[in-house]
């Protein structure tokens, strides 16, 4: 695997060119350019805020900030997986005719989405300043979270993109599973809420709470909220501080997912040309 990584570094110029091409093609002939990548999450946040806060009566001040803070990393994950799923198929001609490390294709897609995520975070920080949110020392942890999520995204993207070469149903299955995962991940709600949900038996609440941390993305999204925003205030719900043990577990799991995804991809990548 180390030799494969060295090969990727050797072909870094191709990687940069693929990222640049993806950035140009995505917004070719577009007036708004990058801002199109923000319109979808912003519209969803606005709609969910209206429904949850004004119709369902969620009483969390600045709820839209907590929602957007989770939506941006979720969108980074979702778009990385969906875009990468067809990355090999869309470059079939290149794969058949030219030698290069095949993993560059899904990795370039994730890097492209990483750039959009970082730009979206800049807009998010401006939004926080407009709201009057105080600058927190925990903001310094943000690069750690971004790097950790990058490895998680790459690992899943490698796995999905390689499978999709052999079974094109995978890209459709990924869409279905991501829609399900959205509701099983604390994006539109806070991770503490299951502990205080009256319709969940009290004996089961701790188990439901721990269930979230089997998914590293759940605690990464929770960590984004904990480090970027002050503790939320809601009647009947106790705010919990960032648990660095769970964060460390999410980091280790993300690295394992990356290594397993990379190994899975490498075992199959030289069969791609035969299948395309």
Of the listed ranges 43-47, 146-150, 240-244, the least confidently predicted one is 43-47
Of the listed ranges 48-57, 163-172, 212-221, the least confidently predicted one is 48-57
CA 9 to chain centre: 24
- Residue 248 above 70 pLDDT? yes
Q: pLDDT tens for residues 23-57? A: 777 766 665 666 666 677 777 777 777 776 676 66
pTM here is 0.89
Domain boundaries along the sequence of the chain = 2-275
Q: pLDDT tens for residues 174-204? A: 999 999 999 889 888 888 877 777 778 888 8
pLDDT at 30: 62
């Amino acid at each position: 695997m180390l030799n494969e990584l060295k090969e990727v570094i050797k072909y870094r110029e191709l990687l940069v060119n693929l990222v640049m091409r993806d950035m140009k093609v995505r917004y070719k002939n577009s007036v708004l350019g990058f801002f199109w990548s923000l319109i979808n999450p912003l519209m969803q946040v606005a709609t969910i805020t209206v429904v949850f806060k004004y119709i369902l009566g969620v009483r969390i001040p600045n709820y839209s900030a907590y929602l957007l803070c989770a939506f941006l990393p979720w969108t980074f994950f979702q778009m990385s997986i969906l875009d990468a799923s067809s990355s090999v198929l869309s470059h079939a001609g290149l794969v058949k005719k030219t030698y290069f490390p095949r993993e560059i294709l899904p990795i370039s897609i994730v890097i492209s989405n990483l750039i959009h995520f970082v730009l979206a975070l800049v807009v998010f920080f401006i939004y926080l300043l407009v709201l009057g949110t105080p600058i927190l020392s925990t903001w310094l942890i943000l690069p750690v979270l971004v790097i950790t999520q990058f490895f998680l995204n790459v690992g899943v993207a490698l796995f999905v993109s390689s499978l999709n070469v052999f079974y094109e149903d995978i890209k459709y299955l990924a869409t279905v599973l991501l829609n399900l995962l959205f509701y099983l991940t604390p994006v539109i709600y806070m991770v503490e809420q299951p502990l205080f949900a009256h319709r969940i038996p009290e004996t089961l609440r701790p188990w439901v709470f721990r269930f979230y941390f089997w998914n590293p993305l759940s605690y990464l999204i929770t960590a984004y909220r904990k480090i970027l925003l002050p503790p939320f205030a809601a009647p009947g719900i106790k705010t919990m501080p960032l648990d660095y043990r769970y964060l460390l577990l999410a980091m280790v799991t993300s690295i394992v997912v990356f290594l397993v995804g990379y190994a899975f991809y490498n075992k199959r990548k030289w069969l791609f040309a035969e299948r395309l």
